[in-house]
Structure 1
């Protein structure tokens, strides 16, 4: 049985990335999902925009809907796509607060 995850992505990156690589890596258990194996993505939502304060409430909503872990898409902490290479300056704080306030483990990247 696969783990159910909620995927949170950068609102700014959403404008030019349809999350297809994140979703395929989740389905195939590649990249950030190598330790968990394939996962079931129960929802995809943005951080809510800078400085990412909405991400904590959104992670809690994903938990209410069945997420067992939260995944921060690579655009947040890795700054992908590579031609942008701009990690979120609030990413580490989002990670910490999501874990503290929801009790869910956070996976830091997808691909």
Structure 2
């Protein structure tokens, strides 16, 4: 599995992605049960509210080899600031409609 992770631009000052990477390495959280090796192709933010660059960045992750787009927990769950992205559903919808049907999606990391 080759993943590209999209994170919230608002949380970058609070979170360096340490727990995301730990969950991937240990195959916990959303990665529990993944039998294959997980390679991180890229880790990038959404471009800022309202996820204005998320589609372009998802395209680039796929172009660089990602077969799975992962939305970091800051987007769906709001960790660590306690405020989920109000654009999360629309962001995913736009990305899913733009990328090939072969791309898989994971809605959180931990």
1:16 aligns with 2:14: yes
List aligned pairs for 1:1-111, cutoff 5 A.
3-37=1-35, 39-81=38-80, 84-103=81-100, 104-111=103-110
Q: For 2:96 and 2:26, locate their aligned partners in 1 and report how far apart those are by CA, in whole Å.
A: 25
Q: Distance in 2 between matches of 1:42 and 1:102?
A: 16
Residues 1:32 and 1:16: Cα distance change in structure 2 (over 3 Å):
same
Unmatched tracts of structure 1, length 5 or more: none
Q: What whole-Å deviation, never above 9, does each CA across 1:6-41 have from its counterpart, x for those lacking one?
A: 011000101110001001111221101124345211
Q: TM-score, normalised by structure 1?
A: 0.90
Is this contact kept in 2: 1:27–1:40, CA < 8 A?
no
Cα 1:95/1:36, change in 2 over 3 Å: farther
Number of paired residues? Answer: 107
- Give the alignment's Cα RMSD to 1 decimal: 1.2
